[in-house]
Every structure is written in structure tokens, then in C-alpha cells.
């Protein structure tokens, strides 16, 4: 999921393919999108918690908002 977020889909696919090849765990492919979606959603949610933190500056809240949006869009892409 992190590789996808940083626009490294080729590396992401290579990692998955290599893992499946070495582990012989082809069942992983059936659940991978679910877990990627879940992780992206959790990361977006964590970034969203920053909105209510009075110790975080408005600039940092803007960055957190952009980051949360990116994670939520990535989560949606796995659905």
C-alpha cells in the first residue's frame, strides 16, 4: 500500500509477485486488495485525528488533510 501511495505500483507488484513466488501463498492474492484498502483507510483516519489536536498548527492541519484525502482515495481505489 505504501508503494502504491508513492506511485511505485511497479515495485509494489514486484514485491507481491516475489513474495507469492517464494512463499507459494497464492491465496494471498484473494485478500490483498482488502488489506491494502484497510491499511490505507486506517492511515487516513489517523491523519484525520490531527484536525482536533490544538497543538498542531493550521499549516500542519492542511498537510494532514491532504494526506488523509490521499489515503482515502487510495483506499477507494482498492474497492
pLDDT in tens, the chain (79 residues): 999 999 999 999 999 999 999 999 999 999 999 999 999 999 999 999 998 899 999 999 999 999 999 999 999 999 9
Per-residue pLDDT reduced to its tens digit, 32-53 = 999 999 999 999 999 999 988 9
CA 79 distance to own-chain centroid: 13
Query: What's this model's pTM, rounded to 2 decimal places?
Result: 0.85
**What's the confidence (pLDDT) of residue 4?**
95
Long-range contacts of 22-28 (CB under 8 A, 24+ apart): none
Amino acid at each position: 500500500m505504501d508503494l502504491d501511495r508513492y506511485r511505485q505500483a511497479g515495485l509494489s507488484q514486484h514485491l507481491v509477485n516475489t513474495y507469492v513466488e517464494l512463499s507459494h501463498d497464492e491465496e494471498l492474492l484473494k485478500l490483498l486488495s482488502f488489506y491494502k484498502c484497510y491499511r490505507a483507510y486506517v492511515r487516513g483516519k489517523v491523519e484525520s485525528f490531527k484536525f482536533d489536536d490544538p497543538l498542531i498548527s493550521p499549516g500542519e492541519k492542511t498537510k494532514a488533510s491532504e494526506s488523509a484525502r490521499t489515503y482515502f482515495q487510495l483506499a477507494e481505489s482498492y474497492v
